[in-house]
Amino acid sequence: MQTKIEFRKQQLEKLANNTLETNASGSKLAEKLFMTDIWQQAQTIGLTMAGKIEVPTEMISVQAKREGKRVFYPRTLPGRQMVFLPAETENDFEMSKFGVLEPKYDAKKVQTDIDLLIVPGIAYALDSKIRLGFGGGYYDRYLKNFPGNTVSLAAPAMAYPTAQWPVDEFDVPLQNVITLTD
């Protein structure tokens, strides 16, 4: 078995070569999400601003706001910590050191009560619901004590029957992974 670093490099290349398929699957995956009980019951949603190789999230943000749900976005902090903050307009975001749009930090606006966290990743093991992220460990640290519901949207290039990478004891399984074949 490859190391996580080796598999991550290979997977990032695979995703770069499958961006059209991943983008095209975004609306179908989002529609499946909107039909779930966890979506319908959630009032607060944690969501990332998706990068080019990830499942698009803009449709999810628009639908959440249409339904009166509040959307919060992750902000990375020193010590590999992460918090969620509101962001309504482009001016509320800034580019992080990772090249990702994150909300500007304001300690008074940190949201600790999130009902549903839509967790990003680059690969998902469908049997164990273990995800492989970008390698910073921010989400696994956050998920360790997260009491709400978790879900990921896995485009075909991201879904694996079982983990093709080593699973560590600190990897936190998701509660739900939505694929096109569910």
Count of domains forming the chain:
1
Q: For the chain, what's the residue count?
A: 182
Side chain identity, residue 89: T
Give CA separation, 160 vs 8, 99, 166, 171, 175, in Å. 13, 27, 13, 16, 16
Q: Do 101 and 93 meet the contact criterion of CB atoms below 8 Å apart? A: yes
Residue 120 lies in a domain: yes
Token pair 């304001």 is found at 106
Can you give the residue range of the structural domain that contains 74? 4-177
Residue 11 lies in a domain: yes
Residue 182 lies in a domain: no
Distance (Å, rounded) from C-alpha 83 to C-alpha 106?
A: 10
pLDDT tens figures, 91-107 = 999 998 888 889 999 99
pTM equals 0.94
Residue 83 phi, psi dihedral angles, 5° rounding: -130, 165
Distance (Å, rounded) from C-alpha 107 to C-alpha 86?
A: 11
Residue 162 lies in a domain: yes
Residue 71 lies in a domain: yes
Q: Please provide the DSSP assignment of 25-51 as one string.
A: HHHHHHHHHHTSHHHHH-SEEE-----
pLDDT tens figures, 6-54 = 999 999 999 999 999 999 999 999 999 999 999 999 999 999 999 999 9
Residue 92 lies in a domain: yes
pLDDT tens figures, 53-91 = 999 999 999 999 999 999 999 999 999 999 999 998 889
Residue 50 lies in a domain: yes
Q: CATH number for the domain including 17?
A: 3.40.50.10420
Residue 15 lies in a domain: yes
